[in-house]
Amino acid sequence: MTSALLILIVDERHDDAPGCEQLREAGYCVVHARGAAAALSLIEQDEPDLIVTVDRVGREFVRSLEDTRALLDCPLIMIGEHDSRQSSRFPTKFLLKPVAGAQLLLEIRNLGVTPAQHPETD
């Protein structure tokens, strides 16, 4: 039996974040954090399978990871207007805005993060 993979989206917007509806329809569980502190708390609490960061709040979150020398045990996709991966060891992939839900879903699957691979734990 499988359970939904957990995707954390770090974005100022809530349900309007890129691809949320498509991700849910594809079987992913999506949670949001509207700031870096909330995202860090959710990571400690829920251990997401993938993190998607968007724009300024996403960059602030990645900086927070760097500042705290955090360990991240999942892929991280950054979405923005310019590629800021060069200054960080965390982002796995960068997507240039605008990003359609189908494109985000494809990139997530290309990283090997698919709902069918997540075993349910008790």
pLDDT tens readout for residues 18-55: 688 889 999 999 999 999 999 989 988 888 999 999 98
Domain residue spans of the chain? 6-117
Read off the pTM. Answer: 0.83
What's the CATH architecture for 6-117?
3-Layer(aba) Sandwich (3.40)
The more confidently predicted of residues 72 and 45 is 45
Do you find a cis peptide bond into 119, omega within 30 degrees of 0? Answer: no
